[in-house]
Amino acid sequence: MQQHVFTIAKVCQHYGIENAVICPGSRSAPLVFAFTNITGIKCYSVIDERSAAFMALGMAQQLQKPVVLICTSGTACLNFFPAVAEAFYQKIPLLILTADRPPEMLNQQDGQMIMQKGVFGKHVLGSYELLSYQEENVDYKLTEKIVLNAIEESTHESGFGPVHINVPLREPLYNLPEIPSFPELHFHNEKKILNITQVPFLNDFSNAWKASKKKLILVGQMPPDSNLSNFLNTFISQDDVVLLADIASNQHEISNAGLFDFGLQHVSKEQRKDLAPDFILSIGGPIVSKSMKLWLKGIKPNYHFRLQAQAESIDTYQNLTQLLEAELLPYLEAFISLKGNAEPSKKEYSILWKLLNNRAHEALKVFHENKIWCEPNVVNKILAEIPENSQLQLGNSASVRWASWLGAPLKALQIFSNRGTSGIDGTISTAIGAARVQAGKIVTLICGDLSLFYDQNAFWQNDLPSNLKIIILNNHSGNIFNWIDGPKNHPDTLSYFTTPHELSVKKLADQFGLNYFQSKEWSNLQEGIDRLYAPQPNISILELSFDEVENMKGINAFKELVIG
């Protein structure tokens, strides 16, 4: 066995990596021996590679530090790709170790071998390949340096993300009379401390701020950050500043208008004109709100500053005037120090948004009182019932949109969603990963029936986290295509969009030994919620089942709401 793989585990341990997700296989045996025998790294065995990768993503999403992901050679690594792409766009650190056969066997009709070197292409921050050593000729220092570089690249200050190391391994793979001792390291952990000697375009930014009367701060998806919340709080006391926070921004508690997504869909063009800013500061990742994106693409503010650590230009709304390549918190701190305390403002831009938010709130209140058993009504009830100081994971398709339209509850609640690529694959696995490293904290996942069945292999592992509570919005198809523009206008092919099915959530729960509850009407919804959140020895699922006709009646009524 090539013992340099034990160097890989040693470097990971030294740099504080605590979790490794391992998929079964033979070529990866040396990696398995190394990681399962080193102290301080907890290993999880997950059979399905796609599920394993999303579980690792969910763990790293919470920890904000790398999680190791290991697979055998061949097509196994290709199943990592959806989660790798999500990690790349969501800026989540993963260290991907793919076992491989010796390079001279590539394309020589040897078994279980594909072109693994650089297989993830542009969807990783870095891609490396270790040398394929003979047993007696190993360069431990080179292996150590490559792994060190990969870890540092995955957590670079310009942005986190996945990094891939391909590990060609020669036979024998199992000749271990005993586990060898782990090698001593030659390098030392030197934490890089960002030292900003120059804040780019600070005067330009400050002058534009002073010259503008209607300032909009737009916060996209990002992990919770109390320090950022404190900085942003210093801005929203001004009447000429509005802060709009995406459902997955984890800044919803300080937003001036939490119902902006719903509100923008239901106001006139004239009202949208009044709301238009002359100054935009955008930070964080993407936003869910299509109405916001369309609105912003149709306006041309005098200034739009994009503040981010990475150099690539992100101009989602085609009106960017200046990219500020800098660390977020130090830049805001420098700006606040420069501008000093905010002077009293009488421009009252924020009042327009607060009025919109109040009107949206009243319209939604009237709608929810109608008690139609439909997704927007039921999701609103669920959002109100999620326990304080817990975490919410939102599936894609309709689930995250309902939460965005209805507004995040104003309580201590962390919210996450795979909005990097916005796919439904891996929804369950990501939530399981999050729950595994949030022991003692309730994690609630709201997702659709297709997301559940598509990712059911997520449950195919041992010791599932009992703190995960899953709420399934079961409309027995991809119901969102029944009401979004486009597919609904082509009834002859609608079944190819909606994927109708007769699969049973209860049978799935029984198969994996999960706790199962169901609600089909208002009379037993509260009971279902109470049972879901009661202590249980395993994952609990609450299925909320909807009749297609009644559900569409409620959804159409929701879409046709008018706010004054």
18 and 114 co-located in one domain: yes
The last residue of one of the domains, among 323, 351, 379, is 351
Torsion of CA 188, 194, 197, 200, to 10 degrees: 140
State which amino acid sits at residue 329.
L
Assigned domain for 448 exists: yes
Pick from 554, 561, 529, 530: which is nearest to 544 by CA? 529
Q: Which two tokens stand for residue 411?
A: 């309580």
Assigned domain for 303 exists: yes
CA–CA distance, 243 with 28 (Å, rounded to integer) = 49
R_g over Cα of the chain:
25
Residue pLDDT, tens place only, 247-262: 999 999 899 999 999 9
91 and 18 co-located in one domain: yes
Domain CATH number, residue 79? 3.40.50.970
CA–CA distance, 419 with 248 (Å, rounded to integer) = 9
Q: Which two tokens stand for residue 324?
A: 């500020």
Handedness of CA 49, 54, 55, 60 (dihedral sign): positive
**Helix (H) or strand (E) segment spanning residue 446:** strand 443-448
Assigned domain for 193 exists: no
The last residue of one of the domains, among 142, 168, 194, is 168
- Could you identify the residue written with the tokens 């916001």? 292
The beta strand positions in 228-290, using DSSP E, are 241-245, 279-283
- The angle at the Cα of 102, spanning 131 to 93, to the nearest 5 degrees, equals 55
DSSP string, 308-320: ESS-S---TTS--
Assigned domain for 176 exists: no
**What domain range is 448 assigned to?**
370-559
385 and 288 co-located in one domain: no
Q: Which two tokens stand for residue 472?
A: 């399934």
Crossing angle for the helix pair 81-90 and 49-63, to the nearest 10 degrees: 20
Domain CATH number, residue 317? 3.40.50.1220
DSSP 137: B
CA–CA distance, 296 with 318 (Å, rounded to integer) = 8
Residue 198, pLDDT score: 55
Residue 197, pLDDT score: 42
334 and 436 co-located in one domain: no
CA–CA distance, 290 with 298 (Å, rounded to integer) = 12
The answer to whether the CB of 477 falls within 8 A of the CB of 545 is: no
CA–CA distance, 301 with 167 (Å, rounded to integer) = 50
Torsion of CA 85, 88, 92, 97, to 10 degrees: 70
Cβ count near 268 (within 10 Å): 8
316 and 383 co-located in one domain: no
Pick left, alpha or beta for residue 276 (phi over 0 → left; psi -120 to 50 → alpha; otherwise beta): beta
432 and 539 co-located in one domain: yes
130 and 246 co-located in one domain: no
79 and 136 co-located in one domain: yes
294 and 398 co-located in one domain: no
**Helix (H) or strand (E) segment spanning residue 10:** helix 5-14
Assigned domain for 358 exists: no
Pick from 516, 513, 515, 514: which is nearest to 545 by CA? 516
Backbone angles phi, psi at 340, to 5 degrees: 75, -165
Pick left, alpha or beta for residue 356 (phi over 0 → left; psi -120 to 50 → alpha; otherwise beta): alpha
> Could you list the mean pLDDT of each consecutive 10-residue stretch along the chain, which spans 564 residues?
85 96 95 95 98 98 97 97 98 97 85 91 97 75 93 92 96 73 67 47 93 96 95 88 96 93 91 94 96 96 95 92 93 85 68 94 95 96 96 95 93 94 96 95 96 97 96 82 62 70 95 97 97 96 95 94 83
Assigned domain for 356 exists: no
Q: How many CA atoms lie within 13 A of 519 on its CB side?
A: 25
Structural domain count of the chain = 3
DSSP 489: G
Provide CB contacts within 8 A for 383, sequence distance 6+: 403, 406, 408, 409
Q: How far is CA 94 from the centre of its chain?
A: 13
Residue 478, pLDDT score: 61
Residue 337, pLDDT score: 85
Assigned domain for 182 exists: no
Helices first, then strands: H and E counts in the chain: 20, 19
The answer to whether the CB of 395 falls within 8 A of the CB of 243 is: no
User: In 3-state terms, what secondary structure has residue 469?
Assistant: strand
CA–CA distance, 23 with 50 (Å, rounded to integer) = 10
Backbone angles phi, psi at 177, to 5 degrees: -65, -30
262 and 396 co-located in one domain: no
Residue 194, pLDDT score: 32
CA–CA distance, 382 with 374 (Å, rounded to integer) = 12
Residue pLDDT, tens place only, 173-188: 887 666 666 777 876 5
Query: 172: cis peptide before it, omega within 30°?
Result: yes
CA–CA distance, 354 with 359 (Å, rounded to integer) = 9
378 and 297 co-located in one domain: no
346 and 374 co-located in one domain: no
Provide CB contacts within 8 A for 335, sequence distance 6+: 202, 205, 206, 209
Pick from 44, 75, 77, 39: which is nearest to 58 by CA? 44
The last residue of one of the domains, among 303, 322, 351, is 351
Assigned domain for 106 exists: yes
